[in-house]
Structure 1
Amino acid sequence: MFIAGKWIGKEKTIDVLNPQDHSVISSVPAATAEDMLFAIEEAKNGAKVAAAMPVHVRMAVLNRAAQYIEDHKEKYARTIASEGSKTIREARSEVKRCIQTLKICAEEARRINGETIPFDQSEGSEDRVGYYYRFPIGIVAAITPFNDPLNLVAHKVGPAIASGNAIIVKPATATPLSALLLAEAFEAAGLPGEILSVVTGSGHELGDPLVTHPAVRMVSFTGGLETGEAIAHKAGLKKLSMELGSNSPVIVLKDADINQAVESTVSGAFCAAGQNCIGVQRIYIEKEKFEEFQSLFVERTKRYRIGDKLKESTDMGPMINEREAVRVESWVDEALSKGARLLVGGERKGAFYSPTVLTDVPAGCTIAQQEIFGPVVLLYPVADIHSAIEQSNHVNYGLQAGIFTKNIDKAFEAIEKMNVGGLMINDSSDYRIDGMPFGGVKGSGLGREGVKFAIQEMTEPKVVSFKLAHKRTI
């Protein structure tokens, strides 16, 4: 593991497994709470070093790290595909996005601006002038998930470095290698060692020391709602940024381009084996087009190619482990037992779960209310856009959504009334670029990621006021 610029091993290790065949890819240290406390102590000095780094130096480091990944991109892609669920094509796309993320971070580092303040707007303050600027908060704790093991780490590490903070990453136990490769890139880029640590091990062992420590001034967490709530209760008085998943809806109106909607939502439902926080889970189709949409959607789903992640022709690999596939299977079985109809899929073999399409799913089923985080999508006919919006909002999540329509008035009705952090018009919910604000409402989390917006979260404004020797008068 990587602690304050040094590569550290431990006698006790954790095997990193390929979910496709359970083969051991590598092993990483099983860090202890004492290791995490040591990383925090080192980060205290790292925060001072980071804050003192001139902006042009931060920019140069970020750009060199991006170039290092570019120069070794196939190594990064194969690591992502081996330790996680992504196919090699999906992994290459993630590497490309990571490079873009770090380059955006370098650009945004130069834009951490303040403003002048007209103090004379307040009577009696005519003799004052001043401004505010933004300063780094200190130490950021980053807890990252398995589904985007490189780029989601970059979305925390890059903005932290750009804004002059130290950061400690606790990567997902299932996929720590990609995070360690990111640390390798920053080491090669010349980042001062104390600024970054990547500590591997069990969340049960490392989580509490990291999130509760008073020196840690912000916790940036991407993961499940239950864990996010637990962190919020434990963290104490510090900043929290949380992306906690979703149960993303997409609306397809009768005037939509049905073929475009089908292609987009099939991809949005099943990429990365459905393990995607903005993946399509519920689709509401106006009843006049429901049968056509359903037929085309099922036909396209049947053509989805499942198999070896490293084969160029594969569309979908396994889920992250067999336990998760069994959970998805149980949720589907529950829905079927309550009257849902299986249109295609519903088959499990080890960690592989076939792309699955359900309809007639009762509203009270777990799969209708919670985040499935697997390759399952639910189709519903609706009378009109009003019904579609009402049903879309009827869950405790609100990350992103999509709507397909050629009617701008109906698009704006959805924009106004859908309770989400982002609405994609004529795209599925599964659309994101790394420069946009990303986050949700309700159980989907707190705060916003996306480089510029993460930097805002990782800095604080400081007001400066000068009292002058004379007052300005008319």
Structure 2
Amino acid sequence: MPALATKLNDSLTVSSDSEQNSNNTILINGDWIGAKQTMSIINSFDNSIISEVSCANNDHVDQAIQSARQAFKRNQYQPSHQRADILKGAAQKVLARLEEFAQTIALETGKSIVAARKEVTRCANTLNLSAEEATRLTGETVKFDSFTGGENRIGFYEHMPLGVIVAITPFNDPLNLAAHKLGPALAAGNSVILKPSQQAPLSAIKLVEVLIESGLPAGQVNVLTGYARDFAEQLVSSKDVAMVTYTGGEASGEIIAKNAGIKKLAMELGANSPVIVMNDSNIDKAVESCVSGSYWAVGQNCIGVQRIYIEQGIYQQFKAKFIEQTAQLKVGDQLIDGNDIGPMINETEAKRIENWVNSAVNKGANLLVGGKRDGACYYPTALDNVAQSENLICQEAFGPVVSLFPFSDLDETIELANNVEFSIHGAVFTANINTAMKVSRELDVAGVMVNDSSDYRLDAMPFGGAKRGSMGREGVKFAIKEMTHTKVFCMNLDA
């Protein structure tokens, strides 16, 4: 690669800010380049440096947008079978390198190696689903003669790609959530500028490398690593960007929405998931599911269990079993098989959770299990008697902490469960179909899991928020529809 510039096509030149170095993590038109500024990616368990990545700036933004525009013009009519082949090939390569991907995920996020391996298999599934939907993206005929004046007209509509899509992904599922944006966007024929999480960009970079190895045309995906604060405003506000798809926190989402201007937005902004456990439920199944749902991925899970409402008749039994199972979870090095809980993304987040728990306890909550921090590791924690005004209840905890509440009135409990601004999933455990239907109808969420944890997700199902977080849907088939527009063809046969 030349030291200062690489010629792209006849009209686009990409220049780096300095001589190329080994931290070439900015991708523009098929070339990985570096930048003057770099940042370290840290293993939060021992604070060791995993890698250095380049920090993009506004010049890189302009180059990436121009590259993406040109790639879209070249490839928007690429046959769907070719798009599908690229995505299927990438899925196969991801599975062939499963352990490599899993190690990367675990190192950069703190997620246990077991959970990381599951994420890799889900990523492959997401890519395969995207490949399938690429060849299923069809429109329908329109009955123009269904209204007076439409006689002798025939026609149809089809789904067309939007153009350049900016995809901004979080750290907690750095591989599969990147796949959930890249897969559908590419299946529909769009080009993408990917901004992976600044804390955990390495898995997403590997995914893009695999897509390129599988035949992805140059410029179809461009990657900007580094600090969003340095270039995100220029990126999302560009009139050449047709859509911004973002997964992350409310504060950043609000900034993106203000800067984006008139364009399509899809956002998943987190949640505070409630679970209701009835007297007639299978208590062992409910406890097992809730423990897993509370602490999977160190609790850094937007649909993880955060509040559990247990009917009074089984509350003491449920609580005892929940404490017992939680106490058995092993905390430590995320790369060691057998450890259930690794570190949080960084020590700052662990200290935040520690402060939230201490605040609740100081105001009368009972610490049932956990409540211990060791560096970035926060031990799986459960409390009861937590005040409704505490952050652990009214905000998204995004950590390995859950609060238990006994209840006797289901209607009041549903009202409490709904008393949050952002929601995605809820859950109910019951043997009564009428209760299941009542709770499913009345919980103000976008998905209800019956006799399952709120954190269950199939990558094919529609996924997104309710209430203030209701801004589009993921789930491959549904994301593809978000990333296209309909185009109508109508022929007047009398002409």
**How high is the TM-score relative to the length of structure 1?**
0.98
1:111-122 to 2 correspondences below 5 Å: 111-122=136-147
Bigger drift between 246-255 and 30-39 goes to 30-39
Question: What is the alpha-carbon distance in structure 1 between the residues aligned to residue 369 and residue 333 of structure 2?
Answer: 21
Question: What is the alpha-carbon distance in structure 2 between the residues aligned to residue 4 and residue 309 of structure 1?
Answer: 35
Please give the per-residue CA displacement for 1:289-330, whole angstroms capped at 9, x wherever unaligned: 111101100111000110111111100000000010111111
What is the match of residue 262 of structure 2?
A: 237
Secondary structure of the residue aligned to 1:216 is coil
The letter of the residue matching 1:103 is N
1:162 alignment partner, one of 187, 194, 217: 187
1:285 alignment partner, one of 305, 310, 331: 310
- CA drift of 1:111 comes to 1.1
- CA drift of 1:340 comes to 1.1
Secondary structure of the residue aligned to 1:61 is helix
- CA drift of 1:384 comes to 3.2
- CA drift of 1:413 comes to 0.3
Structure 2 unaligned blocks of 5 or more: 1-24
What is the match of residue 101 of structure 1?
A: 126
What is the match of residue 10 of structure 2?
A: none
**Retained in 2: the 8 A contact 1:85–1:147?**
no
Question: Which runs of 4 or more aligned residues in structure 1 lie more than 3 Å from their structure 2 counterparts after TM superposition?
Answer: none
1:148-297 to 2 correspondences below 5 Å: 148-297=173-322
What is the match of residue 368 of structure 1?
A: 393
**Retained in 2: the 8 A contact 1:179–1:198?**
no
Question: What is the alpha-carbon distance in structure 1 between the residues aligned to residue 335 and residue 204 of structure 2?
Answer: 20
Question: What is the alpha-carbon distance in structure 1 between the residues aligned to residue 141 and residue 203 of structure 2?
Answer: 42
1:398 alignment partner, one of 400, 423, 448: 423
Question: What is the alpha-carbon distance in structure 1 between the residues aligned to residue 252 and residue 34 of structure 2?
Answer: 28
Question: What is the alpha-carbon distance in structure 1 between the residues aligned to residue 216 and residue 38 of structure 2?
Answer: 27
1:439-450 to 2 correspondences below 5 Å: 439-450=464-475
- CA drift of 1:419 comes to 0.6
Secondary structure of the residue aligned to 1:172 is coil
For the pair 1:382 / 2:407, whether they are aligned, the reply is: yes
2:453 alignment partner, one of 416, 428, 448: 428
Secondary structure of the residue aligned to 1:453 is helix
The letter of the residue matching 1:469 is D
1:70 alignment partner, one of 76, 95, 99: 95
Question: What is the alpha-carbon distance in structure 1 between the residues aligned to residue 365 and residue 420 of structure 2?
Answer: 18
Question: What is the alpha-carbon distance in structure 2 between the residues aligned to residue 143 and residue 345 of structure 1?
Answer: 34
Question: What is the alpha-carbon distance in structure 2 between the residues aligned to residue 40 and residue 67 of structure 1?
Answer: 29
Secondary structure of the residue aligned to 1:446 is coil
Secondary structure of the residue aligned to 1:52 is coil
Question: What is the alpha-carbon distance in structure 2 between the residues aligned to residue 229 and residue 59 of structure 1?
Answer: 34
Please give the per-residue CA displacement for 1:316-351, whole angstroms capped at 9, x wherever unaligned: 000000010111111111211221111111111111
Question: What is the alpha-carbon distance in structure 2 between the residues aligned to residue 272 and residue 125 of structure 1?
Answer: 56
Question: What is the alpha-carbon distance in structure 2 between the residues aligned to residue 193 and residue 301 of structure 1?
Answer: 48
Question: What is the alpha-carbon distance in structure 1 between the residues aligned to residue 283 and residue 409 of structure 2?
Answer: 16
Question: What is the alpha-carbon distance in structure 1 between the residues aligned to residue 36 and residue 146 of structure 2?
Answer: 64
- CA drift of 1:150 comes to 0.3
**Retained in 2: the 8 A contact 1:94–1:150?**
yes
What is the match of residue 375 of structure 2?
A: 350
- CA drift of 1:4 comes to 2.0
For the pair 1:468 / 2:493, whether they are aligned, the reply is: yes
2:329 alignment partner, one of 304, 318, 321: 304
- CA drift of 1:367 comes to 1.3
What is the match of residue 54 of structure 2?
A: 29
Question: What is the alpha-carbon distance in structure 1 between the residues aligned to residue 396 and residue 178 of structure 2?
Answer: 22
1:399-418 to 2 correspondences below 5 Å: 399-418=424-443
1:335 alignment partner, one of 345, 360, 365: 360
**Retained in 2: the 8 A contact 1:385–1:410?**
no
Question: What is the alpha-carbon distance in structure 2 between the residues aligned to residue 160 and residue 49 of structure 1?
Answer: 15
Secondary structure of the residue aligned to 2:317 is helix
The letter of the residue matching 1:311 is I
Structure 1 unaligned blocks of 5 or more: none
The letter of the residue matching 2:225 is T
Secondary structure of the residue aligned to 2:302 is coil
Higher relative contact order (CA 8 A, sep 6+): 1
The letter of the residue matching 1:73 is L
2:68 alignment partner, one of 21, 39, 43: 43
The letter of the residue matching 1:21 is D
In angstroms, what is the RMSD of aligned CA positions? 1.0
Secondary structure of the residue aligned to 2:463 is coil
- CA drift of 1:49 comes to 2.5
1:316 alignment partner, one of 334, 341, 362: 341
Bigger drift between 120-129 and 58-67 goes to 120-129
- CA drift of 1:225 comes to 1.1
Please give the per-residue CA displacement for 1:182-204, whole angstroms capped at 9, x wherever unaligned: 11101100100110011101010
What is the match of residue 81 of structure 1?
A: 106
Question: What is the alpha-carbon distance in structure 2 between the residues aligned to residue 80 and residue 149 of structure 1?
Answer: 7
The letter of the residue matching 2:168 is I
Secondary structure of the residue aligned to 1:326 is helix
**Retained in 2: the 8 A contact 1:59–1:109?**
yes
Secondary structure of the residue aligned to 2:76 is helix
The letter of the residue matching 1:40 is I
The letter of the residue matching 1:332 is V
Question: What is the alpha-carbon distance in structure 1 between the residues aligned to residue 374 and residue 433 of structure 2?
Answer: 44
Question: What is the alpha-carbon distance in structure 2 between the residues aligned to residue 179 and residue 286 of structure 1?
Answer: 43
Secondary structure of the residue aligned to 1:395 is coil
Please give the per-residue CA displacement for 1:249-278, whole angstroms capped at 9, x wherever unaligned: 000000000010000000100011100000
For the pair 1:437 / 2:462, whether they are aligned, the reply is: yes
2:169 alignment partner, one of 135, 144, 149: 144
Question: What is the alpha-carbon distance in structure 2 between the residues aligned to residue 211 and residue 119 of structure 1?
Answer: 39
- CA drift of 1:445 comes to 3.7
The letter of the residue matching 2:269 is L
Bigger drift between 55-64 and 337-346 goes to 337-346
Bigger drift between 102-111 and 381-390 goes to 381-390
Question: What is the alpha-carbon distance in structure 2 between the residues aligned to residue 284 and residue 387 of structure 1?
Answer: 11
Question: What is the alpha-carbon distance in structure 2 between the residues aligned to residue 126 and residue 225 of structure 1?
Answer: 50
- CA drift of 1:37 comes to 1.6
1:451 alignment partner, one of 442, 463, 476: 476
Question: What is the alpha-carbon distance in structure 2 between the residues aligned to residue 108 and residue 406 of structure 1?
Answer: 36
